[in-house]
A and B are shown apart, each in its own frame.
Chain A
Amino acid sequence: MNPISALRSLAAGALLAATALLSPLAIAAEGAYEAPLPAEINTDPELCRHVPCAEVVPGADSFSPRKGKPAYVEAYRSEGGQKTLVGYAFLSTDIVDIPAYSGKPVITLIGMDTKGIITGTKILRHSEPILLLGIPESVLTKFIRQYLGKFVGDKIEIGKAHEGEGMIGLDAITGATVTVIAQNQVIMRSGVAIARQVGILKVEPKPQIRFAPVEDTLSWAQLVDEGSVRRLTVRPEQLGMPRADQPYVDMYYGYLNTPAVGRSLLGRDGYASLMSRLKPGEHAIFIVSSGSDSFKGSGFVRGGIYDRVQVAQDMDAYTFRDLDYINLWGLQAAGAPDYKESAIFIIRDPGFSAAYPWNLVFLANKLDRETGHRDFVSFSDEYWVLGRYMDGGRPTVVKPDAPWLKVWKARKVEIALFAALLVAVAVVYAKRDALTRRSTRKNKWPVNAFKYTAWVISIGFVGFGLLAQPSITQVLTWFHSLLFKWQWELFLTDPFIFLFWIFIIVTTFVWGRGLFCGWLCPFGSLSELLYKVARGVGLGRFQFALPMKWHNRLKWVKYAAFFMLLAVSMFSMGLAEKLAEIEPFKTTYLVGLFNRSWPYTLFASGILALSIFMERPFCKYLCPLGGALAMPSTFRWFGLRRKQECSSCKACAVGCGSLAIDEHGRIDHRECMHCLDCMVLYTDEHACPPLAQERKRRTKAGLPLTPIGRDGYYIPIKPVPAQKA
């Protein structure tokens, strides 16, 4: 190696090392990310001692203790010694437990005036990785400010797709779709729950159930089997407590108004007595429980609210006070189990109808073993009176689409195009043999036309358009979701990343990581396209590759990066997210090169600038995702072909931009980007030395040039004895 090359290689190596070390692990902004909150925030009646209620209800100067179920505080303004109610403040986690992308809720303080207009929102704590270093937290603050002035009863959704159809569309946050969809649910559901409770939103009465004349008397087992009695069990482990043999609560419950069910459970007299106590439009449910704890709540005091159970129907929640409670003296159904605790609760609200599905909800606090904090959680089970007990059967219920399904429907065209792209690339690669045979060393367009098209689509449509850049952070998120709270809905909310990962997993096992990394990774495509364009415009003389000696050392850095991130994520997901900034993906695609602070921009620009002179430096040496995918690539099913002569011939190795062919002609599929240059040579009778040699020999001997077989050689000429005439 000449001294200039050595110096150049050394400089490149040093630059790579420096970029790895100086990857912008900048300081996370002081914000709500994993912000420590006082433990009392979830339990202290004086909520506003711990959170800035005045910020979300402007003009209020005093606040009541927590009241109601779910809890809220009243906000007052003092004028001339008089206190005037001006609104309400409430904590989202007192009302809903909807996780965001991180699997943890965004804890939000919400303010609302007495007419149901949202007056303020403040994020107290979140764990969203993209908002840690990628998108500034101010963008989320700006997003939730869109709710100010909106009525809680409005139908608000993310995106403008259905604006004008009775929906109000909000601007989403590019790159944080899952977070904002979850946050929309949090704010609107919380607002509706409190507005209903304080009487701002009136409940619209639903058609009431009309019972069919069924006179059966059923045993307990029959009632359970048919679903007229259902079970809701919560185990201590689900609440962060030590595992125990006995459930925390083990509740059986059912709807008692149904004549056949009520008579079976209470006996004819008991049922008649209960019904005589109910006014028209009132409903009775029973609960019996045999768990280690009480479903009524240890904090229950006479005159208070049963704060552990409620009935939910659509967006409405029905809680029970002592006046709604009747003793359940016993169960008459044959085979009824023993129980420790029992109750009959009366639902008096005309908004409830037993003709439609409803949920029994058990509310509890879950202990976070790491922090000692208690988070609000709910467990629910759906109940719907059987069709045979209803006159005319069950009514048709159209349930609203799940948020993820709305996203899939709203973006169906893009999803179809993206899926078509993935399938097309896989099919083209599966047919690579036909393409490489049409190509020669001097004309690789039959392959490159497809590959370059895939790059351009990947950069423009997939990267900048759909923001579907796979990242190691997704792997870490999945890993943690698997450990703590796996929710398919969470991953389905980003359909492009979801589909991309299916493609990556399948193709990595079939062909190795090269198809994704070499053909469809938006950043990899951009990196190599820069290299090719630079060569095309005459910068080729400045382009170089590291000597194999250095390449073989530096290629391990990406594996080390992957293992380091995996290990760190076990102790601190936040730190792992910061360290994952070694990937310049967020800066390049999700946030934009010019929308981030200078260290990130410098890092991403530096990598891209280096890509002009060196083929895919990031992919070869730094990419933790590449390292993660390279490992299963060891066991890909189908690799690229080789001939025995490849062990001594260097023709392919010299042209291998990925430096994946070693001195013995062997292809390291962990490093190969599937550019297919070596496969073009494999069947090029003018460029592949053993083939060219054979071609010349046959031509000289006047022998025909037979087609080239799968083994990369001319099909042998086998003399066949002439047939006798």
Chain B
Amino acid sequence: MVDPRSMTEPMTPPYASSGAAARLAAEVRDHLWPWSRSGFQRQRAIQAAGLALAVAVSLAWVLAALGQLAPAAIIGWWFGWSVFEIAVRMGSKPYVKEGPWWGSRYRRASLMDMICYVGFKNLMIGAVLFIALKSAGLLVL
């Protein structure tokens, strides 16, 4: 029977039952690392392309830090990466948090949930990186 209290069925990531500190560390890792061992087994092709893309994105950031990449190109990379990350996560870590961010309820992610999650998370990461680079004087536009 469907649980109407959750938009999708509850899910339990491997770290869900860990202590608060361990769970927080695992969540931080989850936010930054979209791949998983089980997902890799299922999506070898997509994961291989993902690694290649990760290298490309890292290069893009280095170029951006050196002032060699126009803003539109950075945003293009951000967008392209986000689309790819959605595909990867739907296979490897197909869950999102439900309710307060400090809580430990998780549920299966629908495609829209994952778009919202990845889009929002990458916007935050992008903004932090962008502001950090600008503040450090490494990126002047």
Contacts and interface: CB of A to CB of B under 8 A. Distances in A.
Nearest to A669: B7
Given A243-B140, A635-B101, A570 B75 contact: yes
B97 to A, nearest CB: 7
A637 B100 contact: yes
Nearest to A631: B116
Say which size band chain A's interface belongs to. 20 to 34
B71 interface: yes
Given A243-B67, A647-B4, A235 B140 contact: yes
Contacts of A154: none
A56 B127 CA distance: 45
Contacts of A571: 72
Interface string A440-474: 00000000000000000000000000000000000
Say which size band chain B's interface belongs to. 20 to 34
A567 B79 CA distance: 10
B67 to A, nearest CB: 3
A623 to B, nearest CB: 16
Contacts of B7: 666-669
Contacts, number: 78
A643 B127 CA distance: 39
A301 interface: no
B19 interface: no
Contacts of A635: 96-97, 101, 116-117, 120
Given A570-B72, A570-B75, A668-B7, A482 B117 contact: no
Interface in A241-296: 242-243
A634 B96 CA distance: 9
Contacts of B100: 637-638
Contacts of A630: 116
A407 interface: no
Contact of B116 (A570, A634, A638, A644): A634
Given A483-B141, A634-B116, A634-B117, A369 B70 contact: yes
Contacts of A235: 137, 140
A393 to B, nearest CB: 35
B21 interface: no
Contacts of A664: 2, 4
Contacts of B70: 369
B14 interface: no
A58 interface: no
Nearest to B67: A243
Contacts of A237: 67, 140-141
Contacts of A667: 4, 7
Contact of B6 (A631, A634, A666): A666
B140 A238 contact: yes
A642 interface: yes
A482 B140 contact: no
B10 interface: no
A642 B72 contact: no
Given A570-B72, A635-B101, 10 more contacts: A242-B67, A369-B70, A482-B127, A631-B120, A635-B117, A642-B4, A644-B3, A644-B4, A665-B2, A666-B2
Interface of B: 1-7, 66-68, 70-72, 75-76, 79, 96-97, 99-101, 112-113, 115-117, 119-120, 127, 130-131, 137, 140-141
Interface of A: 235, 237-238, 242-243, 369, 482-484, 567, 570-571, 630-632, 634-635, 637-639, 641-644, 646-647, 664-670
Q: Which 8 A-B pairs have the closest CB atoms?
A: A237-B140, A243-B67, A665-B4, A646-B4, A664-B2, A634-B116, A642-B4, A631-B116
30 contacts: A235-B140, A237-B67, A482-B127, A483-B130, A484-B71, A567-B79, A570-B75, A570-B76, A631-B115, A632-B116, A634-B113, A634-B117, A635-B97, A635-B101, A635-B116, A635-B117, A635-B120, A637-B101, A638-B100, A639-B99, A642-B4, A642-B5, A647-B1, A647-B3, A647-B4, A664-B2, A665-B4, A666-B5, A666-B6, A666-B7
